[in-house]
Amino acid sequence: MPTLPATTALLVIDLQPDFMPGGALACHEGDAIVPGIAALLASRRYRTVVATQDWHPPGHASFASSHPGRAPFETIALHGQPQVLWPDHCVQGTPGAALDPRVDWRAADLILRKGTNPQVDSYSAFRENHGPGGTRPSTGLAGWLRERGIDDVHLCGLARDYCVLWSAQDAAAAGLRVRFLWELTRPVTPDGDASTREALRTAGVDIDNRDIP
């Protein structure tokens, strides 16, 4: 496989055991994408690779268990915005929060942990969800990529309908060219695929349907 231009980076979103079948917040067929992503990293086809790691403190505000009387997958208002309440997942330092051990992460140039603010969720690799006061602090990733001359990003990982989608939307909003490696993503909610595709089209994101790009 030929090396891609140095202006293209691969973003691998939240490839962690808690998002795999049997995990705390399993994505539908989440493990099906692991061999393809492992092969992509091993090929060294991308000169720049960024991995994100969902990394919540215990008692995080996105956990249903932090809201007495609430159940996982209910939606509440948090900081004035809708917030899906999740099962406890990706708790800092637990095995389910590790990067997937089937991938050789030596090819990753940056490992970005997100969701560390106890009060605020963070789906996107680029900025937190709405927090108190309505602010959405940047993670600095857009600047990190720009400093390296990167203007094109390819995204894969979990979950297709949350963290990969939100990262793709923010990448496009940051002025990057964005390719969504559809077959190297899997959703929390398979029924949501049509609306995910529509949201990506609206954001101007290119959907790549090949098994390996």
Binding stretches for Zn ion (CB under 5 A): 54, 115
Cα 110 from Cα 97, distance rounded (Å): 17
Q: Should residue 158 be labelled a site residue for ligand VGL when binding is judged by CB under 6 A?
A: yes
| One residue of 9, 11, 12, 14 binding ligand VGL per CB under 6 A | 14
Chosen from Zn ion, ligand VGL, none, partner binding at 63 (C-beta under 5 to 8 Å by type): none
**Beta-bridge partners for 51:** 12, 111
Shortest distance (Å) from residue 29 CB to ligand VGL: 14
Site map (CB under 6 A) of ligand VGL, residues 122-141, x = contact: -x------------------
Quickly list H helices, the chain: 34-42, 141-147, 163-173, 193-203
Tell me which stretch binds ligand VGL (CB under 6 A): 32-40, 64-72, 102-110, 156-164.
156-164
Exposed / middle / buried, residue 193 (Cβ in 10 Å: 0-12, 13-18, 19+)? middle
Tokens representing 191 are 């029924």
* DSSP characters over 181-201: EEEEEE-S-GGGHHHHHHHHH
Catalytic sites, residue numbers: 14, 114, 163
Task: Decide if residue 54 touches ligand VGL (CB under 6 A).
Answer: yes
Residues that bind ligand VGL (CB under 6 A): 14, 19, 54, 86, 123, 158-159, 162-163
